[in-house]
Structure 1
Amino acid sequence: MKNLLHLKTYLINYRWKLAYGVFFILLTNIFAILAPRYIGSAVDRMGGEFTLGQVMGDIGLYIVLAALSGIFLFLVRQHIIVTSRRIEYDLKNDYYSHLQTLSRSFFDRTSTGELISRGTNDLNAVRDFLGPGIMYSINTFFRLFFAIIAMAAISPQLTLLALLPAPLLSYAVYSIGKSIQKKTKSIQESYADITNLVQENISGIRVVKSYTREDAEAERFQQLNETYYHKNIALARRQALFFAILTSLLALSLIPVIWVGGIKVVNGSMTIGGVTQFVIYVSMLSWPIISIGWVTNIIQKAASAQSRLNEILMTEPDITDPVTADRNMQTNIQPSLRFENVSFSYPGNENSPVLEDISFSIEPGNKVAIVGATGSGKSTMVNLIPRLYEPTAGRVLIGGRDIRTLPLSGLRSLVGFVPQSNFLFSDTIASNIGYGDREGTMETIIESSRIANLFDDVNDFPAGFETMLGEKGINLSGGQKQRTCIARALAWKPGILVLDDALSAVDTSTEAAIFQGLLEKLPGTSLLLISHRISTVKHCDRIIVIENGKIAETGSHEELLARGNLYADLYNQQLLEDEISSLN
């Protein structure tokens, strides 16, 4: 239950709306409790001499009070249920905003389906608590309070008899409620597993179909769905038992009330109208008592859901702005880059460093390439530049300043980053390129597409730059996707441009045209290029060769060839591969 305390800030924000809602709950219950008095009065009148006008007067008053109770109940829902929707709106915004602040490492260890499940299913459970849960909890309290007072005013003895099942009720709520919370949490975890599987299968549907795994994936879904089904059935059975116990206790409480009430009527200590009124009050308690089980279920679900949400909301980003960051830093900071004795290990693998004692520098406008075998640490190295990860030792400097002293927004505005994995939004080509355009101008989009050698391809599409892309750019070729991502980074107008194997899907002539465009159009931009192609990197000012997380050698293309070491071996190997390909 303590997990729900996280919601107190939201409740305080809407305290006046909720206060009005509580006030209207008070009024609706007052009128609801007053109404049965006139039913009892009408019954007693008909036991002796009466006129139709007197009876109709009592019935009329009952109708007025019942109508007032209904009007205020409407106002209750307008204030409390509507407020729950507003808090849900705030919670969703906060949840999504918090996700944007979390570090890359968080998303490395948390599945997309899990995050979607918590932001939808779990949030809905919390909303139910904030709306019906709060409304019916307060309504039950007032209804029980006023009904018991009204019942005690008629007959304290009958009131005690009616409340005999209360201890059993409390025990049922406590014991069965704990079981419901455990089962609810298990169900929510199963729902997250299903969501994750569906998300992965839809995103990777082309792989599934390529390997004809449709039946196998359908079977996996069926197994997860069956587990989810059986868990829900088990919960439904427990809830059915809960409601059956509550209803039975209510029905049993009427037996002694009617028996003793009848005796009191016979001996003249109570009237038939009084007993009728008392029975109405007991009946009025039926929904509040039954709602105890329903509300308990809502609260248990919400507590479980909020605990899962809190796991995300309480997660602190690994990488944050420094307290002393210069918020007014200029984006025209010199685009020089320096690694000083940088080492890095992924969390949990501290004994297996990916990078060890890396030191090099890039002056403004220099074009530097990084080459090495797969898994040598090239991509990890460039991920440190925009602080997607933090080095475990050493430091990275831009413009002579440690990047950990710069605000993240300022740092990342200096760096245009094109990762290995291309991602495009389901939007127009212009919007995808303009995603990195601070000014949002079509001129920048066109200029960036020209440098990326994409302009002619886009013009070949019927809708040009307004061509809508499918999911992740499915209607573009691999090379067009890469060039679109490069254009997006160029539209950002970065001081430092990082291309992590971003030219692997284009042919050598296109690659040469893009590189020439970078040299001519962006002479002041520092370029850090990762590539497996010697033809790509040989025109760079300097080449850094990485082997097993360490710098093996560095120099120009000609210098490295002359040394005859690792780079020369890579070069000769690629020449041989090219010759074999030409023969084939």
Structure 2
Amino acid sequence: MIKTLLGQVKEYKKVSLIVPVLVTLEVVLDIIIPLIMALLIDQGIEKGDMNKILYYGGILVALAIVALIFGALSGRYAAIASSGLAKNLRKTLFGHIQELSFANIDKFSNSSLITRMTTDVTNVQNAYQMIIRILIRSPLMFIFSLMMAFRINSTLAMTFLYIIPILAIGLFLMIRFAFPVFDRVFKMYDRLNKVVQENLQGIRVVKSFVREDHEKEKFEDVSEDMFKNFSLAQRIVATNGPLMQFSMNAAMLLISWVGAKLVVTSQMSTGELVSMFTYVGQILISLNMLSMVFVMMMISRTSARRITEVLNEESTLTNLENPVMEIPDGSVSFENVNFSYVGRDEKNVLRDINFRIEPGEVVGIIGGTGSAKSTLVQLIPRLYDVTCGAVKVGGRDVREYDIEALRDAVAMVLQQNVLFSGTIKENLRWGNSEATDKEIERVAKIAQADSFIQELPDKYETVLTQGGTNVSGGQKQRLTIARALLKKPKILIMDDSTSAVDTKTDYFIRSGLKEEIPGTTTFIIAQRISSIQDADKIIVLEKGQINGIGTHEELMQTNEIYQEVQASQQKGFGQHEEG
């Protein structure tokens, strides 16, 4: 875990190494200052020697200024190093997530990944800054101050030997009981983010069903659980403060009592006693800071583990050593394909799938809810890998192709239409970043999107909000179809992508596809038979198995499920016309 995180320091290694050097120099000066102060008191102030006072006073001022400069520089460089680590971590995390397969991402919720890239990275950043600065400064200050205290008076310095075990036991107990609580807290952060994310994404549904109170209650429940656990963790950690304060007060009282006797009996000078108090303060402050570092490390340990879980996750989809880069054509065949999301045969959602599609054919897929229609087409561009059997494109197993080359040859219009914040033109150019304005307008016309775009104030420069919430469902579908057409793919997959448009528009879109991409193999998942009845082949799925394959006319003669769907839709259409 530590090796993985330190590997992200990268270009900030030099800055990270400078910080301990500056901190060490600062500590050395802080240790020298009390010695000069003792000389100022004993040889200057007590003897009334103004020259000594000015001499030692000047040295003190110079040392304090230089120590301040070293301290400021160490703080600045520590901030740069920790911020750089956080930047690299976020960049690496985000990049790694892009490389993961759907199966990998399914292991982590979206809210959890967001928490890991934000809250967890910030915790690691804060811990790293404290480690390279405070964790270096505190032990050095403690050791050097203790050495100087023994040098001045070993009897007084022995006081610390009674206090250190008390602090160590308190710190151990704090870590022992607080760490499991912090572990629970970060899981609750995931839950809280999930509730917020779901609410904001589905805010229209929440309001339409008048479920605001229910959502508030969900949020308050998670927030209350987080409050209770975080309060418990903070109460455990807070015991460190009183314990440290008690130790400091006890040490001061003992040193004051013993030190006063030593001064009265001339066994110790006033300047040495003042220096001893300074060193005592430095020792106790260093112990206090050390305990704070341990608390921060305890919190960040959970965060670090959660970050490395993602970084160490290996994609279930990988390229061969020498993958095939060219996809010859859009032919598709499924050979004895089984698929399970959990990788076990007894949990298969697709079973015994066998069919072959020639380049340029239009294939309709129909079936009831849960028949695995979307799952089937997601195997073609390797969004998932088959559990058993083979999916072939262009006569080759899809696992033999370079993943990017394969997916570049396949355009998908997903069931859940996703648009990104930016202009309409920028969204369409996801299909082809080099597309000209004329090409964009042409595919928009084929997708029946140009008409509504022209009615917008800024036309193709109209800015879409996140998720495309400022356009209707049917408009989103037409935009995503246009985006897919810009890829000029060998295979086009339309996953129920015209469900929100009327039958007339649906017909125009299908007619436009035939003219625009006649050589492209097209898969159309649909609920309406009218959307697929002109297809070269229609696949009927039932419970993850093929119930029938054929043309519309053939299935109307041989397939009961297809006949029932057709009859129910014709009946519904007739009733609608009658009304």
User: Taking structure 2 as the reference length, what is the TM-score of the superposition?
Assistant: 0.96
Identify the residue that residue 326 of structure 2 maps to in structure 1. Answer: 330
Cα distance in 1 for partners of 2:47, 2:456 equals 93
Identify the residue that residue 413 of structure 1 maps to in structure 2. Answer: 408
Cα distance in 2 for partners of 1:30, 1:248 equals 28
Q: Mapping of 1:98-497 within 5 angstroms? A: 98-326=96-324, 329-330=325-326, 333-347=328-342, 350-497=345-492
Cα distance in 2 for partners of 1:444, 1:317 equals 36
Kept after mapping to 2: 8 A contact 1:95/1:119:
yes
Identify the residue that residue 549 of structure 2 maps to in structure 1. Answer: 554
Kept after mapping to 2: 8 A contact 1:437/1:444:
no
Kept after mapping to 2: 8 A contact 1:343/1:353:
yes
For 2:197, the aligned partner's letter is: Q
Deviation at 1:48, TM superposition (A): 4.5
Kept after mapping to 2: 8 A contact 1:193/1:224:
yes
SS in 1 for 2:363: strand
Identify the residue that residue 60 of structure 2 maps to in structure 1. Answer: 62
Cα distance in 1 for partners of 2:347, 2:256 equals 79
Cα distance in 2 for partners of 1:56, 1:483 equals 84
SS in 2 for 1:416: strand
SS in 1 for 2:204: helix
Deviation string, structure 1 residues 270-294 (Cα, Å, up to 9, x no partner): 2111111111111122321111221
For 2:340, the aligned partner's letter is: S
Kept after mapping to 2: 8 A contact 1:4/1:302:
no
Percent identity, aligned pairs only, is 32
Identify the residue that residue 40 of structure 2 maps to in structure 1. Answer: 42
Deviation string, structure 1 residues 131-158 (Cα, Å, up to 9, x no partner): 1233101000111122122222212222
Range moving further from structure 2, 108-117 or 210-219: 108-117
The reply on whether 1:9 has 2:7 as its aligned counterpart is yes
For 1:391, the aligned partner's letter is: V
Deviation string, structure 1 residues 306-327 (Cα, Å, up to 9, x no partner): 112222222222222233423x
SS in 2 for 1:528: strand
Deviation at 1:352, TM superposition (A): 4.1
Cα distance in 1 for partners of 2:326, 2:366 equals 32
Deviation at 1:349, TM superposition (A): 6.5
In the superposition, relative to structure 1, how do residues 356 and 235 fare at CA in structure 2: closer, same or farther (>3 Å)? Answer: closer
Deviation at 1:410, TM superposition (A): 0.8
In the superposition, relative to structure 1, how do residues 550 and 223 fare at CA in structure 2: closer, same or farther (>3 Å)? Answer: closer
Cα distance in 2 for partners of 1:9, 1:230 equals 36
For 1:188, the aligned partner's letter is: F
Kept after mapping to 1: 8 A contact 2:344/2:387:
no
Deviation at 1:109, TM superposition (A): 4.4
Cα distance in 1 for partners of 2:446, 2:94 equals 35
SS in 2 for 1:163: helix
Kept after mapping to 2: 8 A contact 1:448/1:491:
yes
Range moving further from structure 2, 65-74 or 42-51: 42-51
Kept after mapping to 2: 8 A contact 1:247/1:286:
no
Deviation at 1:351, TM superposition (A): 1.9
Kept after mapping to 2: 8 A contact 1:81/1:132:
no
In the superposition, relative to structure 1, how do residues 13 and 182 fare at CA in structure 2: closer, same or farther (>3 Å)? Answer: farther
RMSD (Å) for aligned C-alpha atoms: 1.8
For 1:250, the aligned partner's letter is: M
Deviation at 1:389, TM superposition (A): 1.5
Cα distance in 2 for partners of 1:572, 1:305 equals 57
Cα distance in 1 for partners of 2:559, 2:337 equals 27
For 2:222, the aligned partner's letter is: L
In the superposition, relative to structure 1, how do residues 435 and 538 fare at CA in structure 2: closer, same or farther (>3 Å)? Answer: same
Deviation string, structure 1 residues 524-554 (Cα, Å, up to 9, x no partner): 1111111122211121122222223222222
In the superposition, relative to structure 1, how do residues 564 and 28 fare at CA in structure 2: closer, same or farther (>3 Å)? Answer: closer
Cα distance in 1 for partners of 2:10, 2:267 equals 50
Cα distance in 1 for partners of 2:67, 2:338 equals 71
Identify the residue that residue 534 of structure 2 maps to in structure 1. Answer: 539
For structure 2, the residue ranges without an aligned partner over 5 or more in a row are: none
Cα distance in 2 for partners of 1:184, 1:547 equals 47
SS in 1 for 2:351: strand
Q: Give the one of 496, 513, 518 matched to 1:523.
A: 518
For 2:566, the aligned partner's letter is: Y
Range moving further from structure 2, 151-160 or 193-202: 151-160
Deviation at 1:183, TM superposition (A): 2.2
Deviation at 1:195, TM superposition (A): 1.4
Deviation at 1:511, TM superposition (A): 1.0
For structure 1, the residue ranges without an aligned partner over 5 or more in a row are: none
Cα distance in 2 for partners of 1:224, 1:564 equals 51
Range moving further from structure 2, 123-132 or 111-120: 111-120
Kept after mapping to 2: 8 A contact 1:452/1:484:
yes
Range moving further from structure 2, 568-577 or 290-299: 568-577
Cα distance in 1 for partners of 2:339, 2:46 equals 95
For 2:232, the aligned partner's letter is: A
Kept after mapping to 1: 8 A contact 2:495/2:526:
yes
Identify the residue that residue 501 of structure 1 maps to in structure 2. Answer: 496
Deviation string, structure 1 residues 391-413 (Cα, Å, up to 9, x no partner): 11110111111001111101100
Kept after mapping to 2: 8 A contact 1:162/1:254:
no
Cα distance in 2 for partners of 1:545, 1:271 equals 99
User: Taking structure 1 as the reference length, what is the TM-score of the superposition?
Assistant: 0.95
